[in-house]
Structure 1
């Protein structure tokens, strides 16, 4: 078992215990089962979770570190083999290496899809009953993204002269097209998107996935620690979780690229191209497996015609959030979310020459995406 001690006590129902209890009850297998919770009820009748007891998952570490290790080891082997042989890359070896990364991405996509299927199933529990997203809900999602985007662009405007040349050019292109991008986001998702509001993971990235015996388990349903418990318990679109994982693949690729820092230029360029291909194929496999899994849901999570637009909305929100986070905590990493946001902007605005993700960042410290402190000791 694992005993999680809550180090920052807050008033209200804790989403980690609430969601874990629900998933345990309905039999979702790929998470830690809930065994118990210690709660203090104050004189006003308000609960305060003190600790949570869950089943221990025998694992080989989280998917973030698995991805870093796999990418660094595999890309080094592929790139150095070319240098040693002074020949063209072996397409078969590269395909096999990429397939191994794709397989893990697909497993994560399948398990996330199964989680969303479980959370969209009809239930008498109002906290978990899926609801159609109203036009007001869709507008709230758009407004939230607009607010995050405005904050990110304001930060870039303040710091643009401090950025490296490549990042500065991309940041300036975003600032120059601020009005067009804002308008595109405002009109990105139609009010009748056919979307559902359900409970979701809320803070999904590779660090929230445990790798275990060729499978994965999804953990830590506390939501983003910076938000209130009420916000973390709100229903939202499952596409928000999908966007979080896609952005996490980009972070893993960039963090792994620290192996290019001391390599000769030709080898470094070759490695960067490999990292980019690994990320692209992983994202594709993740999405394919996810869509296959959610096709079994009792009702569509979003109308097929609106899925990409809604996913783009949350990808923009996530990239903008990352800019805000990196500006405050790791300024040398700003190039990664700036490039991600620039790529999204170029696609939405119909530009040619869309930049490819990911751009190598100063990745001397490989820390997980969204590394805000959690609730637990």
Structure 2
């Protein structure tokens, strides 16, 4: 898109993106360099507004303490253990399928798949942090299938649609309460898809020969837009106490949901669109390359 055109036009003066590393939650407080901010200023403001609207949605969904099906609930040890077991089970199944399909993947995707398979033990360790830490958090009825395809942009604002959850899951599962960070992770992963779908040729936007030049900028865009989304989201939910107050606990929970979503996407793409599998593979690798 236009962002990639800007990068290619100015690559002589800015061959690589500015340093923008460290935990994603810490990046919420960082300021982007002026040139980078100029190239993605519109995306940043829209992402911030979308984050704000998402937070307002979660506050509204948690605002009825009377109806049992809508009332928010504190996370118990049992529910945290159940969440850990579900995430671990999905990871085990997905790694098994990825290992079985490895030889049949295209060469470029196969290399990323091998790297992901090498991280299987580290994935389990990340989920154990969720299992072993008592996290003060709230579960509520969330959107359940939150991504860019579920929001309409009016030109000035956003309308959030399609609250039926992931259609492939049983209705009883879709009605289960969860942390609102599941929705947040879904949107952050959707930003990653938006950047890489064009970069990897799944949708028009970039030429294959420009991949090596543009990939660092794609990662930079994802990180900047994700931070902008959180800049809008976190203040919007602050007064409702929906999230862990301790930064370490917030980071563990968001990290677990991001990892779980990327693993789900790998399994989905392997079974439905194998040529798209590289996008969530790269997303999972980035979760380990940058400490959250």
What TM-score do the two structures reach when normalised by structure 2? 0.84
2:4 to 63, 75, 80: 75
Aligned-partner Cα distance in 2 for 1:296–1:184: 29
3-state SS of the aligned residue for 2:130? coil
Q: Deviations over 1:277-333 (max 9, x none)?
A: 221110110112111111121x34323331111111111111111111100111111
> Looking at both structures, which has the greater relative contact order when contacts are Cα pairs under 8 Å and sequence separation is at least 6?
2
Tell me the equivalent position of 1:260. Answer: 206
**Gap regions ≥5 residues in structure 1:** 1-71, 351-377
1:236 to 159, 162, 178: 178
Distance 1:331 1:128, change over 3 A: same
Following superposition, the deviation at residue 191 of structure 1 comes to 4.8
Following superposition, the deviation at residue 176 of structure 1 comes to 3.3
Following superposition, the deviation at residue 181 of structure 1 comes to 2.8
What TM-score do the two structures reach when normalised by structure 1? 0.66
Tell me the equivalent position of 1:96. Answer: 38
Contact 1:105 1:285 survives alignment (8 Å): yes
Aligned-partner Cα distance in 2 for 1:283–1:157: 31
3-state SS of the aligned residue for 1:187? helix
Following superposition, the deviation at residue 78 of structure 1 comes to 4.1
Tell me the equivalent position of 2:18. Answer: none
2:212 to 241, 259, 269: 269
Aligned-partner Cα distance in 2 for 1:308–1:180: 16
Aligned-partner Cα distance in 2 for 1:173–1:145: 20
RMSD in angstroms over aligned alpha carbons?
2.3
Contact 1:323 1:334 survives alignment (8 Å): yes
Aligned-partner Cα distance in 1 for 2:104–2:44: 37
Greater Rg by CA: 1
Tell me the equivalent position of 1:335. Answer: 278
Q: Deviations over 1:220-263 (max 9, x none)?
A: 1000101122211111111100010010000000112233325x
Q: Find out whether 1:290 has 2:233 as its counterpart.
A: yes
Contact 1:106 1:285 survives alignment (8 Å): yes
Distance 1:346 1:210, change over 3 A: same
Q: What pairs with 1:36-47 in structure 2 (closer than 5 Å)?
A: none
Tell me the equivalent position of 1:184. Answer: 126
Structure with the largest fraction of helix: 2
Aligned-partner Cα distance in 1 for 2:265–2:281: 9
Aligned-partner Cα distance in 2 for 1:204–1:197: 16
Q: Find out whether 1:106 has 2:48 as its counterpart.
A: yes
Contact 1:107 1:215 survives alignment (8 Å): yes
Aligned-partner Cα distance in 2 for 1:137–1:291: 23
Aligned-partner Cα distance in 2 for 1:248–1:114: 19
Contact 1:181 1:345 survives alignment (8 Å): no
Range with greater deviation from structure 2 (222-231 or 167-176):
167-176
Contact 2:4 2:206 survives alignment (8 Å): no
Q: What pairs with 1:1-377 in structure 2 (closer than 5 Å)?
A: 72-79=1-8, 81-82=9-10, 87-89=12-14, 94-257=36-199, 258=201, 259-261=205-207, 265=209, 267-297=210-240, 299-304=241-246, 305-346=248-289
Corresponding residue pairs, total: 270
Following superposition, the deviation at residue 167 of structure 1 comes to 3.4
Contact 2:197 2:279 survives alignment (8 Å): no
